[in-house]
Amino acid sequence: GAGVSQTPSNKVTEKGKYVELRCDPISGHTALYWYRQSLGQGPEFLIYFQGTGAADDSGLPNDRFFAVRPEGSVSTLKIQRTERGDSAVYLCASSLQGLGETQYFGPGTRLLVL
């Protein structure tokens, strides 16, 4: 596709459930980023992949959050034992190479934990 895509666009789940959010970056982009955007706030960095490996995961809030990018393209953000405070828009971005390059964002997944 021409841009970054994210699925699903909306996800409603119950407290305690497990969710997976998917990001499909721009073809050929080696760097991929996940952000969380709470209502009325700017995006907050979660994790950055360079190829298949997590180059920086310092933004993950706790061990319930995990992300993978096994083939260096599609990435999945996984949240275990969801809590109401996890409700937010989860944004994915990709860039051609690494830090310093312009990041191109997907439309986000809005997660609502009831």
Partner 1 sequence: AQTVTQSQPEMSVQEAETVTLSCTYDTSESNYYLFWYKQPPSRQMILVIRQEAYKQQNATENRFSVNFQKAAKSFSLKISDSQLGDTAMYFCAFMNNDMRFGAGTRLTVKP
Phi, psi angles (nearest 5°) of residue 32: -140, 140
Q: Is 33 in the site for partner 1 (CB under 8 A)?
A: yes
Give SS3 for 31: strand
Instruction: Supply the minimum distance, in Å, between the C-beta of residue 97 and partner 1.
Output: 13
**According to CB under 8 A, which one of 7, 8, 18, 41 is a site residue for partner 1?**
41
Measured CA to CA in angstroms, residue 89 lies from 1, 33, 72 at distances of 22, 14, 23
For the beta sheet containing 5-7, the strands, ordered from the edge strand earlier in sequence to the opposite edge, are: 5-7, 19-24, 75-79, 65-68
Lay out the site mask for partner 1 across 63-102 (x = CB under 8 A, - = otherwise).
--------------------------x-x-x-----xx-x
Q: Is 34 in the site for partner 1 (CB under 8 A)?
A: no
Residue 16 or 61 with smaller CB distance to partner 1: 61
Q: Are 26 and 3 in contact (CB under 8 A)?
A: yes
Residue 15 or 95 with smaller CB distance to partner 1: 95
